[in-house]
Each structure stands twice: as structure tokens, then as C-alpha cells.
Amino acid sequence: MIYKIEKLYRIFILKLCIVFILSCKSNSINEISQIQSFPYKSYHLDDSGDILNTEIFSSDFQDSKDCAECHPNHYEEWNMSSHAHSSSSIFFQKRLADAVHEHEQSIERFCDQCHDPISVISEKDENNSLIHSGVTCDVCHTMTRKSSTTIALPHQIVTSQLFLNPGEGIKYGPLNSPNQNNYHESQFNPIYKQSESCLPCHDLKHEDLETEITFTEWSRIPGMSMSGAFPCQQCHMPEKEDGTHEHHFAGVDLSYELPPKEEPLYNKVLELLETAAQISFKSNIEEIADSIAWSNYINIPVRIESLNGHHLPSGTSFNRECWVSIEVRDSDANGELIYKNGILESTIELLNYYEKDLVLFTSFLITEEGDTTQDVLKASQIINHSLPGLNIKYTDYRFKINNQIKSLWIKAKLNFRPIKPFIFDELPLLKQNIPIYTIDEIEKTIHIIN
């Protein structure tokens, strides 16, 4: 109950913010000229992603461990995040090996431009352990300017462009007047409060095909993006009591190397998912009544309202599933099952995509030959059935009842599975750890008047 009230409160605040945001203007001219005066080091790559020339050395980037002494919480949280493991996780290594096998060795640099950018843009110094260290503190905190969407092209491996100024002892960040320290200079940069600092990694197109476009989805929600006042950071880096911002970067993924509840990020992911959407027994006209007259067929209306800052699911949406499950029982006759939809017996059972009336939010990548694939680079089409941010989906479940039934007990759930189980067929140890989360659930008893 408390959780429900919190959720309603959140929706209220979200809507209030959006009304407020719609009445605001966008970034000031001052801010733009300030960003444009920040320096960055340039690099140039050839079509295979190999360095032609670069001003950046891998030793310009500091080990994230060096920050732990003075920023222990930031380090500890980041260290749990998928940014810290983006080039070392079992899942990434497996998909990378598959990609190299399917395409060519140089594909590694395509993946690394987002998963391990330091290794792509800098000259390797001998003995520098930083190569293969993921999205480190310095990848983000040496960023000086905004980038744009990354586009996968057949003739050019790396197209993302990062504007970084590493190796100068300056950390850029959101603090206007930070305390001095002997270790590094600090420089305020307004982009750290903006979604643009999550580009180009969180927006990927395959030529014109919108494959993993979280940033674009966010930017298409007028209230979220118009002044940028509801950026990614608001939900993914919430402010803590001490005024600093969370660095867990909770999304929907875990490492899958442990049972879900033993994973350090499990509770964070669950908390985030519980804010994603709300389910209710409503049609677009009214809420379902407490008692209804008997008839051969009963109609249960269900409404799913997104409270999300982008599609549900977003990013690698073709790997994820979000769906409604519903069961209806006779409240008397020992709770005899009358109707069900979308119910699974185990966390690794496949959903039946052909089940009539199944409400499913996901996407499918389709190859030129018309087959489904999980490989963005093989896709020539995407069928996107994800739920756009702040949108509402209505549905109806219709089933037969006999005239002996006095009351019905109904339970509906909005479920989320971060990985479609078949994706881990070759990683059985991870497969057994795939969780199914409940985003929201509701119950109701309806009296039938004969």
C-alpha cells in the first residue's frame, strides 16, 4: 500500500514537472558558448577503426581505483555498475566472440567504441592496464563537449566521436564551485546535467535502422526533452541525501553470474523497474465495477500506463520482454481456474508469442532473409512493439463463465524479463539466473449478479 502511494506521488510529481518543463526555454546561449570553449584532444581513425593519428595516450586516463581514496562511494557504486564491466562481462565476451566469428576481427573496435572506448581512441602505452577497463570514471569525467548518435555503416567501423580532454589533471563535472583538492583541478561543465552526456553510446542506428535508440526515444517525448529538465540522470543517477549522485547506473541488467537476489544491483534494478509503469483494471472510459450482471462472456479491461523516460523496454529491446499475465479464478469453488493469459511456470520457460490476447512489449530484429536475429549488424528491419514513454496501452480479456459463479478473483501483473532465455542457450550457467521482475500487480474480486 505504502508503495502504491509512493508510486502515485511519483506520477503526480512527474506530470507536474512536465507541465512546468513545457513552459520553460532551452539551454541558454551562455551555456553553449561555455561548452564550445572547452578543449578536447583529437583522434582520427581509418575505415577499419585503426588509429591514423591521435593526441591521446592510454596513460592519460587514470585508473578508477585512484579515485576511491577521496570518492569512496562513487567508486564502490560505479564498480557494481555495468559501465565497470562493459568490456569484461561474460555476456559481452560471448557476444563479441560471436560477432568476430560472424563478421571479421575488426568488429571488435565497433563494439569497443562504446564498451571500451579508451582502447579505440588512444595510443597504447606499454604496461598500461587501463586498456580493457570499460566505461571508467575518466571516460565520463574528461568529457568536454556533446557528441551525436552512433551510426553503424558497412564501410566504416567506428563512427562515434568522443570529445575528451584527458591527461591534463582536470576533472569536468556538475559542481559549480567544488572544494579544492591537491589531486586534480575541477571544472564545472553544464553537460553533466544533460542527457547529451550519455551520447553517443546510448543511441545506435544501423544505417537508417533505429536499433538501440534510448536517447532518441527520450528526445521524442516533448515534456522530457524540451528543456532537458528531465534528463537520464534524474532517473538513473538520483540525488542522494548528501547531495551527491548515485553511480550504480542501475538499468535492467545483472551479471547473471549469481542467483538474482545475491547480485549487488538486484534491489536497485527492482526499484527502478517498479517506477516504469502502472497497471489497472480500467478501460479508456471507466474502472471495472465491483459487481456486474451475469452474462455468457465477461470482459476484463486492463490499462498499462508508462511512467518511463523512453520506450519500455529500450536499448537492446530485442533482448528483453515485458508482458501482462492475468489469472481469473472462481472465488468460491476452491479457487478453480477460469481463465489465464501470459502465465509462465518457470523463469526460463519461453513465452508463447502466438498466445491469443497476449500483451507483449519487445522488439524483433529481422534479417534480409526474413529471419529474426539478435545481431544489430545483420538486421535490415526492426519490428518494434515496445511501449513508448508516457504512453498508455488498453486491452481487454474476454472469457466465458457459467451461471453458477457468484464471484471472480482476478490478478494481473506486468512482468519484465531482461533476457529472452534462448539468448543464453550457450551460457547455461547464466541462463538459470535470469530473473522475472514484477513491475506492478493488482488484484480484484468482482461479484456476479445472477
Touching ligand HEC, residues 301-340 (CB under 6 A): 308-310, 312-316, 319-320
Q: Is residue 225 within 8 Å of 219, Cβ to Cβ?
A: yes
Smallest distance, ligand HEC to C-beta of residue 429, A: 16
What one-letter code names the amino acid at 97?
A
> Should residue 20 be labelled a site residue for ligand HEC when binding is judged by CB under 6 A?
no
349-368: contacts with ligand HEC (CB under 6 A): none
Reported as type and span, the H/E element at residue 383 is strand 379-384
Question: Whose Cβ is closer to ligand HEC: residue 340's or residue 378's?
Answer: 378
**390 sits near ligand HEC (criterion: CB under 6 A):** no
Which residue's CB is nearer to ligand HEC, number 43 or number 218? 218
Interatomic CA distance for residues 424 and 392, integer angstroms = 32
Pick from 366, 356, 409, 416: nearest CA to 386 = 416
Footprint of ligand HEC on residues 216-255 (CB under 6 A)?
A: 218, 224, 230, 232-237, 244-245, 247, 249, 251-253
Amino acid in position 11: I
**Contact predicate 342/355, CB 8 Å:** yes
For the CB of residue 282, give the shortest distance to ligand HEC in the complex, in Å. 21
Upper half-sphere CA count for residue 236 (Cβ side, 13 Å): 22
The nearer residue to ligand HEC, 22 or 70, going by C-beta atoms, is 70
CA 322-386-288 angle, 5° bins? 65
- Where does 116-209 have alpha helices with state H? 117-121, 137-141
By the rule CB under 6 A, 71 interacts with ligand HEC: yes
Binder among 18, 45, 67, 302 for ligand HEC (CB under 6 A)? 67
Q: Residue 284: CB partners within 8 Å, gap ≥ 6?
A: 303, 394
**Does 43 help bind ligand HEC (rule: CB under 6 A)?**
no
Site for ligand HEC in 92-111 (CB under 6 A): 92, 95-96, 99, 107, 110-111
Taking CB under 6 A as the criterion, the residue among 21, 54, 55, 66 binding ligand HEC is: 66
Q: 287: which residues sit within 8 A by CB, 6+ positions away?
A: 280, 281
Q: Considering only residues 58, 64, 331, 363, which one is a binding residue for ligand HEC as defined by CB under 6 A?
A: 64
Residues between 146 and 185 that touch ligand HEC (CB under 6 A): 150, 171, 173-175, 178-179, 181-184
Helix (H) or strand (E) holding 36: helix 29-36
Q: Is 120 in the site for ligand HEC (CB under 6 A)?
A: no
Size of the site for ligand HEC (CB under 6 A): 86
